[in-house]
Amino acid sequence: MPMMPGKSALLELLKQEGVRVMFGNPGTTELPLMDAFAAEQELRYILALQEAPAMAMADGYAQAAGSIVAVNLHAAPGLGNAMGMLYDAQKAGSPILVTAGQHEQRFNFQEPLLWADLPSLARPLVKWSEEVRRLSDLPRAIHRAVKTALAPPMGPVFLSLPGDILTDSADLELGTPSRVARNIRGDAEAIARAAQIIARADNPMIIAGDCVAEGDALAELVALAEAMGAPVYDEGMASRAMFPSSHPLYRGPIIRLPAVIRDLVAQHDLLVSIGGDLFTLSLPGEVESMPDGFPVVHLDTNPWELAKNFPEAVSIFGEPKVTLPELTASIHQARSGSQQKEAESRLVRMKNAGIASLAKFHQMADAVADRHPIHPMALMQTIGKLLPPEAVVIDETVSSGVGVRRFLKSDDAKSFFGLRGGGIGWGLPAAVGVKLALPDRPVVALIGDGSAMYTIQGLWTAAREKLNIVFVIINNYSYRILKQRANAMRGHAAQTDNYVAMDLDKPRVDFCSVAKGMGLAAYRATTLSEVGDMIEAAMAADGPTLIDVEVDRSWKPV
């Protein structure tokens, strides 16, 4: 091999591994890398104005593309800025190669400005974290990192890159990428036991998780659900469309409160989890989410999630795409004639119940359609009716998205992306990454006003890249969810009706002016008719558009 500088070797290695986009915000420690990009023709660098949006963009891209993506951060402060969004990426299982520039090694013992032990900072939030200390190790480090990020369960990895690694030159053998095969079939004996349990169930339910969408196993899950005659719920923090929203067995997300989950589970005699976490909660409760001794069958690509919080009758490590067909066939084989007839009858009942449930959601939205300001549920219904089937929705509505998955036409694995980790500020920049990964699909981002202000800089990148994204700001001028939670505590705030630091109305943020200042078209909507007209026009535009929608501020239980 000819002598090659580390900065050029890095870009060649990334291209070998299938990286097509790097997101970042460069600083002095990234100057060698940016110098290499000056001569680069294939790998695309997407500039963000701060590291948190850069990380969320990479997360959105990785989920939508289903492939490795890179993000480069600036030393210790840059990694620190990105860590909230890195937490979300970890929870979503996004395959991201996170790199950060580090000072030259000959200088680091003096602990210079911006220096820190970067691998130790990143380690709690990634699958693997290391610093490259010799240029000769760079190829091995990149190949190991990407292999690890893409191996099941997928997730982000981190490499610290000292400046001398990028500026030095060496005779390097770049090597070749390796991949861990993903189609892991579940254990045959465990599948047979699970099938026997499911065959005997009179009223089973299913909770679906993100690995269904990640492995494009929606059709396989539909076949299982129909064979079981079981309603399907999303796990509590869902970042993907795990089951077609138009299917009458679909029931939407579970509520992340122990008593509510327990009441739901108690209506059934078996819980089957296909990659669904059991359970990620928002708040503690007085009761356990699962009744004692309740039977659970659980299939997951992450063995850590199996029987993590509750005992399980059968725990299966495997991919839904290749394991569910065998499980479905085994259920049919395990049933008696009478059990099969009962399952078919139950399927009809559950489908009818699903149709009635969806009709009830529409009735509830219709009942508030004439309210002013706009009721959030009526807004979700209007958007759901308006968007074409191929639209992709990014959801960070937080407390204003009641019914959003029921109203949307999210029937394929890349039609919906939601906030998985709970760290707000993800959705607005994630939409940029999703659009870059899916350039031919309409992308609509539904973002709460509080969430938007965490990473509002992402609008600038959308304008810079001329991305046709529709950003809908659901604006109630408050941190509404905090008011709901504070009221539920029944403490001083509820008694005095004084909710400190939870209103965003003095002054109100002028989202339209902010968006226009960053190069977007921007409009304010106060009626559902205006919302519809504006979204239709925005989807036909050449660049990004922001629509600020004033919604009902009420939040107390009726």
Q: Which of 70, 23, 86, 68 is nearest to 420 (CA)?
A: 86
Pairing type for strands 204-208 and 270-274 reads parallel
Q: Identify the structural domains of the chain with CATH numbers, from first to last.
A: 3-171 (3.40.50.970), 188-352 (3.40.50.1220), 368-550 (3.40.50.970)
Distances from the Cα of 30 to the Cαs of 22, 78, 81, 164, 464, in angstroms? Answer: 13, 11, 16, 11, 21
Cβ–Cβ < 8 Å for 475, 551: yes
Cβ–Cβ < 8 Å for 465, 46: yes
Q: How far is the C-alpha of 293 from the C-alpha of 512, rounded, in Å?
A: 54
Residues in the chain: 558
Cβ–Cβ < 8 Å for 58, 433: yes
CA end-to-end distance (rounded Å), the chain: 72
Q: Which of 303, 300, 312, 323 is nearest to 187 (CA)?
A: 323
Q: How far is the C-alpha of 223 from the C-alpha of 323, rounded, in Å?
A: 12
Digits of tens for pLDDT over the chain (558 positions)?
578 999 999 999 999 999 999 999 999 999 999 999 999 999 999 999 999 999 999 999 999 999 999 999 999 999 999 999 999 999 999 999 999 999 888 888 888 888 889 999 999 999 999 999 999 999 999 999 999 999 999 999 999 999 999 999 999 999 999 999 989 999 999 999 999 999 999 999 999 999 999 999 999 999 999 999 999 999 988 789 999 999 999 999 998 889 999 999 999 999 999 999 998 888 888 899 999 999 999 999 999 999 999 999 999 999 999 999 999 999 999 999 999 999 999 999 999 999 999 999 999 999 999 999 999 999 999 999 999 999 999 999 988 878 889 999 899 999 999 999 889 999 999 999 999 999 999 999 999 999 999 999 999 999 999 999 999 999 987 878 888 888 888 888 888 888 888 788 889 999 999 999 999 999 999 999 999 999 999 999 999 999 999 998 887 765
Q: How far is the C-alpha of 450 from the C-alpha of 397, rounded, in Å?
A: 10
Q: b or e along 453-466 (b: 16 or more beta carbons within 10 Å of the residue's beta carbon)?
A: bbbbbbbbbbbbbe
Angle (deg, nearest 10), helices 218-228 and 337-367: 110
Please state the separation of Cα 471 from the chain's center in Å. Answer: 17
Residue type for 303, please? P
Place of tokens 């981190």: 158
Cβ–Cβ < 8 Å for 330, 187: no
pLDDT (0 to 100) of residue 1: 59
Paired tokens of 176: 């070749």
- Strand segments, DSSP code E, in 389-514 are 392-396, 416-418, 443-448, 469-475
Q: How far is the C-alpha of 335 from the C-alpha of 412, rounded, in Å?
A: 31
Sign of the CA dihedral running 370, 372, 376, 381:
positive
